[in-house]
A and B are shown apart, each in its own frame.
Chain A
Amino acid sequence: MELRDLYRDVILDHNRHPRNFGRLDPANAYAEGHNPLCGDRLTLSVRLVGDRIEDIRFEGKGCAISTASASLMSEAVKGKDRAAVRQLFESVHALLTQQDALAGPELGKLAALSGVREFPARVKCASLCWHTLNAALESDGGTVTTEVPDEVPSGPARKMAGEP
């Protein structure tokens, strides 16, 4: 377990200078994410044109991992359609939870999150924004939480049940 694997320069940079931070106006999809273990809250606002994410912003207070993960995600999903976002989510999820998962080229800068899986207590910090994005794209507009999968409003977000 190497601390530098978790707090890579890319992560520290995105924590210090989060990209796409704030509230998007106008936007047509929203969701709030909540990690009750650490009290972190994250709000996503998304502008969808048809099936494609034209723009996305996030706001909230969180740890370095959750802030950097949301910042990296916001860059990665901009311009992608729902199916591509879902594919990316699958890759990130595998990266965060599977010891042998390799960071494919599709991940780009998101590969910096690969160190998180060595820190099981921190996986939820990194995945919160992705579950929140899923909820926003499902347009429930509710709050997703990293806990109590049964209370999660949208289908895809239930995938977090398999996480440590």
Chain B
Amino acid sequence: MAAPAREAAAPAPAPAPVPAPAPVLDVERVRKDFPILSRTVHGRPLVYLDSAASAQCPRPVMRAVEDYCMQSHANVHRGVHLLSQEATAAYEGARDRVRRFLNARSTREILFVRGTTEAINLVAQSYARPRFGPGDEILITGLEHHANIVPWQMVRDQTGCSLAVAPIDRRGELPLNEFFKRLTPRTRLVAVAHVSNALGTILPVEEIVSAAHARGIPVLIDGAQAVSHRAVDVRALDCDFYAFSGHKLYGPTGIGVLYGREALLAEMPPWQGGGDMILTVTFERTTYNELPWKFEAGTPNMSGAVGLAAAIDYVEGLGLDAIGAHEQRLLEEATAELQRIAGLTIIGTAAHKASVISFTLEGIHPHDLGTILDSEGVAVRTGHHCAMPVMEFFGVPATARASFACYNTREEVHRLSAALHRAREVFR
């Protein structure tokens, strides 16, 4: 992710600041950890530029899941036998790994869910629905993924509250004055993306949180597109909820995390009922379990949690700074290369972007582009990216989107632009 430009010159008497060495990623070594990258697609080496949809899994993640399944699997929190104890230790150990990853105060604030979508639905149904009513407002932005729109529309329809949208500008940035204007005495919750999946825009979440908190409004951050690019510290951000998915962080599918401030989670009723989320049950009444288990009804996704913890070990082993710097170099290179292609328009030109480039090519529908790129072995996402309002704002039915991850190379950027030239030839 782009860091703000720093002032280089220090006053003369002060010792010259020692520039931190630029973190370097050994990409060829990284690639060896991802077996899928060595396969071919339509007879050509795979160029996987769709990590914003789902990142590939490195061997250490697969191995962690396999070890769990081969050695320690049993149900958690239920048995006195050894395997159940090991499974519980693995699952709760994964929770603590996530807590350290996010720098949360306590594992009571870390809920395992299926993914970002489920995390946001949990907050919508368990935090917003019981509290909000007519006259209350939930504030989102114009660049949200459907997962940060639809759950709030459901709450709106259930409670009579309303949904306000802070607009974005033509670069795909969120003008803060427009956003602040919409923080009113009616606003009860702010829910924003950390990074836009369709445009790559990095939102100024620190400013958003402090402005909202100054008015006593809690903030949920959809971090699905952020956690794989930069370190996230929920205490530094001071957000109230933070959601992300394992599979966008090189982990397994079907596992994700909701961080919630303990004081808020404690007040919230359970979302789903069932086993594991209770202390005692009679036919007359039930007492609920403590945090975090109050929100984890049923047998959880233990192998997924173990895989997610391994994925966190993996990215922190590489260094999120090194990953982010590598991706920024690819983003700059790809942006420069794509801009040289006649008729190509980049959708989303914010000053601070994650390694995502959405684009259109004049005269060629994104769907056709996707097929032609695929025939060249280049996997990009085409379509509306689950962000139809963003497409509508830019007046396009769809875009093609290339996203870059820790394992992508400059060579692959060239393969992308070569494939785009090929598309031009096909449609000449």
Contact A38 B42 (CB under 8 A): no
Say which size band chain B's interface belongs to: 10 to 19
Contact A65 B391 (CB under 8 A): no
B397 CB–A CB distance under 8 Å: yes
B365 CB–A CB distance under 8 Å: yes
A12 CB–B CB distance under 8 Å: yes
Contact B367 A125 (CB under 8 A): yes
Known: A1-B42, A39-B391. A64 touches B383 (CB 8 A): no
Residue of A nearest to B41 (CB): A1
* Partner among A1, A64, A65 whose Cβ is within 8 Å of the Cβ of B375: A1
Contact A63 B368 (CB under 8 A): yes
Contact A3 B372 (CB under 8 A): yes
Interface residues as binary, A4-30 with B (CB distance below 8 Å gives 1, 0 otherwise): 001100001000000000000000000
Contact B427 A12 (CB under 8 A): yes
CB distance from B53 to the nearest CB of A (A): 14
CB distance from B404 to the nearest CB of A (A): 23
Contact A63 B365 (CB under 8 A): yes
A138 CB–B CB distance under 8 Å: no
Contact B397 A40 (CB under 8 A): yes
Measured between beta carbons, the chain A residues less than 8 angstroms from B391 are 39
Docked complex Cα distance between A138 and B144 (Å): 38
CB distance from A53 to the nearest CB of B (A): 27
Among A12, A39, A64, A65, the most chain B Cβ lie within 10 Å of the Cβ of A39
A61 CB–B CB distance under 8 Å: yes
B388 CB–A CB distance under 8 Å: yes
Known: A61-B397, A64-B365. A6 touches B371 (CB 8 A): yes
Known: A3-B426, A7-B426, A61-B397. A39 touches B371 (CB 8 A): no
Contact A64 B372 (CB under 8 A): no
Measured between beta carbons, the chain B residues less than 8 angstroms from A3 are 371-372, 375, 426
Measured between beta carbons, the chain B residues less than 8 angstroms from A61 are 365, 397
Docked complex Cα distance between A12 and B363 (Å): 11
CB distance from A37 to the nearest CB of B (A): 6
Docked complex Cα distance between A1 and B426 (Å): 15
Measured between beta carbons, the chain A residues less than 8 angstroms from B121 are none
Residue of A nearest to B43 (CB): A1
Contact A39 B375 (CB under 8 A): no
Measured between beta carbons, the chain A residues less than 8 angstroms from B364 are 64
Known: A62-B365, A63-B367. A38 touches B383 (CB 8 A): yes
Measured between beta carbons, the chain B residues less than 8 angstroms from A64 are 364-365, 368, 427
Among A3, A37, A62, the most chain B Cβ lie within 10 Å of the Cβ of A3
Identify the B interface with A (CB < 8 A). Answer: 42, 364-368, 370-372, 375, 382-384, 388, 391, 397-398, 426-427
10 chain-A/chain-B pairs, Cβ below 8 angstroms: A3-B371, A3-B372, A38-B367, A38-B397, A39-B391, A39-B397, A64-B364, A64-B427, A65-B368, A121-B371
